[in-house]
Structures are given as C-alpha cells and as structure tokens.
Structure 1
Amino acid sequence: MVGLLLLMLPELAWEYQLLGFAAFSVVSIVVWHLVLKRHPTVSDQPKLNRRGEQYVDRVFTLDEPIVNGQGRIRVDDSTWKIHGSDCAAGVQVKVIGVDGVVLKVDIHT
C-alpha cells in the first residue's frame, strides 16, 4: 500500500511513508480480525494444542488414592493433577472435564 502511495506521490517524505505503513498495518490487522471472527478457521484436529481436553471421556486406573478431593494420575507419559471424589488406589476413574491443568474425574462404573 505504501508502495502504491509512493507511486502517486513520489516526493513523499520517509516520515510520512513510515506513518502510512503503521496506519495500513493497524487497519489490516483490524480487518483480518473481523474476517476471522465471521469466518473462523475449521480444523480437522480442534484439540491439538489443548492437551487436557484430549483426555476427556477416557478411563484411567488410579495409582494412588484421591484424598480430600485431590490427587495425581499417570496419563500416557506425564502426570496430571486431578480433582474428584475421594477413592482408593486401583479404582477406575473417567475424565469428565478440564480446569486449566487439572483434570476433573469421576468414578467409572
């Protein structure tokens, strides 16, 4: 855009060119934001960067008990904090939700 402006006004000072670039940048960001808001990008893997949400509805066996509503669970190659009803080690729990980096679990029946 600044190049087209410079074609029309070849004597335009560099300060105004820089100002024009800044203005066009802000306008283009706002326009692109509005376009994406109306037409969001659809992904074939919507949970790709939401690791905790990938575990919702999966069932795991507790290695250690849940005490006072809190515990830890081994999921694949990592350990996660969990919140749920108190229960003993060895009980199967189902992940029913995610709160930040904490998995919410319920006893699996």
Structure 2
Amino acid sequence: MDGLRILFWYWWCLALALAALEMFIPGAAFLWVAGAAGLTGLVVLAVDLPEPVQVALFGALAVAAWLLSRRYAGREPLDNTATTLNRRADQYVGRVLVLEEALSNGYGRARIGDSVWRVAGNEELPVGTRVRVTRVDGATLHVEPA
C-alpha cells in the first residue's frame, strides 16, 4: 500500500455514508457500524496508524458495535400500543373513571381527559361514583363500581 494513504476524514466520510444508508435500509445495523467508522477516524486523528492497522481496528470496532446493537436491541420493550391503534377505547379497559352523569336506565357519561364517553352498566349509580371500565362496545364503555 505504498500509494494509498487513509486519512482520518476518510473514516468520517464512511461514517456519514453508512449513516445515510441507514435512512434507506433501516434496522440500526448501519448506524452502529457508522459509529465504529467515526470512532476509527477519531483514533487515527489522535494516533498515526498504518493502513492495515486502521482497517483491522475498524473491523474489530464494527463487529463489537454490531454485537452491542444486537444486545441492546433485544432490551427494548415491545410497543403494545399498536394492538389498540385503531381501537382507541380498548386502551381504557381496567381504567377507573368518575361518573359525570348518573348511570340510570343502564347509561351515563364519564370524562376521560378532554372527552366525555358514554358508559353502560347494570347498576344505578349517582354522579361522582368511581367506576372501572370492564369492556368496550363501539364507543360505549361498560363499567362496574370500582
């Protein structure tokens, strides 16, 4: 490698290219390897290393980065909001509410945030009673005393 000289900013350009590639092929694998390239550039900036050592350093850092990405990717909790994405009311099952309108003749109203929902129940309950959502039927929340 007499004519080829790898400078520190070459590694940074590789890091930018890998990070850009992550936008087109998502999955976070290229992002971690881009970090390895950036770190290799920092080491080469601080210490003048021969090209074979630079490539070996990058290889080792890339493998380590990829292994770390697999280790930490498994720790992320699963997003369970996707299960109720198009069924907003299902997320309220189990939640305790306060009646804004008495539950009479099987129906009443309760506030959740800035919305008022129709609630249904088997018992007659006065305004201010705490109720727990047991199930959802369309836009009606079925409740029982909490």
Normalising to structure 2: TM-score of the pair?
Answer: 0.43
How far the C-alpha of 1:44 sits from its partner, in A, is 3.8
Q: Could you tell me how far apart the structure 2 residues matched to 1:62 and 1:106 are? A: 11
Aligned residue number for residue 81 of structure 1: 118
Write the distance in 1 (CA, Å) between the matches of 2:87 and 2:98. Answer: 22
Structure 2: stretches of 5+ with no match in the other structure: 1-77
Deviation per residue, 1:14-51 (Å, 9 max, x gap):
xxxxxxxxxxxxxxxxxxxxxxxxxxxx9642112211
Q: Counterpart of 1:49 in structure 2: which amino acid?
A: N
* Moved beyond 2 Å, runs of 4+: 42-45
* Equivalent in the alignment of 1:56: 93
Distance 1:44 1:86 in 2: 34
Offset of 1:81 from its aligned partner? Answer: 0.8
Q: Which consecutive residues of structure 1, in runs of 5 or more, have no partner in the other structure?
A: 1-41
- The alpha carbon displacement at 1:86 in A equals 1.1
Q: Which residue of 1 aligns with 2:142?
A: 104
Contact 2:99 2:108 in 1 (8 A): no
CA RMSD of aligned residues (A): 1.6
Equivalent pairs: percent with the same residue?
42
Determine helix, strand or coil for the equivalent of 1:71.
Answer: strand
- Taking structure 1 as the reference length, what is the TM-score of the superposition? 0.57
Give the alignment of 1:18-97 within 5 angstroms.
44-45=80-81, 46-84=83-121, 85-97=123-135
Larger relative helix fraction: 2
Residues 69-91 of structure 1, C-alpha deviations (whole Å, 9 max, x = no match): 10111111111111012101111
Structure ID, larger Rg: 2
Of structures 1 and 2, the one with the larger relative CO (CA 8 A, separation 6+) is: 1
